[in-house]
Amino acid sequence: ELRRAGALGSREALYYAFGLQLNPELPDLSATTLVRYLQAFAALYEWLKARHQIDFSRKLTSYIEPWSSTYIDLLISEDYAPDMEKLMRDYLHYNPTRNKALDLLPLFAHLNSGLLAEYVEDERIKSRPTLHYRLPDCDIDNPDWHFSTVWNDWVVLEQLVANADDLSKLVTEFRNSRKLSLHNLTHSWIDTSDQWLRSGNYV
């Protein structure tokens, strides 16, 4: 109905940096569960970005930035097992902004608004017990584009989080891919992660 009424998406103009945002509810609000979601997202960020074929108009903005590279190294380190306060402080130290492809500030406002306020003051942050997934474009004027396509790619991440052994294996692969080596110079992580997901019947 919106398409028939003339709604336009991200690709219509350079200044149309529209996005489709999801707010997936977490199965629980423990630090252990949240770390698993964050590790899965860090490992799948490039794959998800390639799947969504992000429009140039949104690449020009800061809305869909990845997390700090230094933070990702910390997050996927083998011994990273923080409690919730440390998890929040680590994230906010390196990523004190809502302009991230997976924005945790609404969740942190729900969990501990006082701690969040030590790092960020932004009236646009609304407290809610969910993740805030900001990466996908809104391609609503394209008849071949569907909300379900975006959601189904997110479900791949959900399924990975639910499989602890597979998540551990992928995070290990991702950690190794970030090291300087001839193999990593000649192989794309997007291709490697896509092949890994296909071999595990995730896609």
In this predicted model, what pLDDT tens digit does every residue of 40-80 receive, in sequence order? 999 999 999 988 765 444 455 556 788 999 999 999 999 99
DSSP structure class, residue 15: T
Banded model confidence at residue 184, pLDDT cuts 50, 70, 90: confident
Query: Using CA atoms, how far apart are residues 61 and 135, in angstroms rounded to an integer?
Result: 11
Closest by CA position to 128, among listed 36, 24, 18: 24
> Residue ranges of the domains in the chain?
10-199
pLDDT (mean) for 168-175: 97
Q: What digits encode the pLDDT tens for the residues 129-157?
A: 999 999 888 888 888 888 898 999 999 99
The pTM is what? Answer: 0.90
Query: Using CA atoms, how far apart are residues 159 and 154, in angstroms rounded to an integer?
Result: 9
A 10 A CB-CB count for 201 gives: 7
A 10 A CB-CB count for 75 gives: 23
Q: Which two tokens mark 198? A: 């296909």
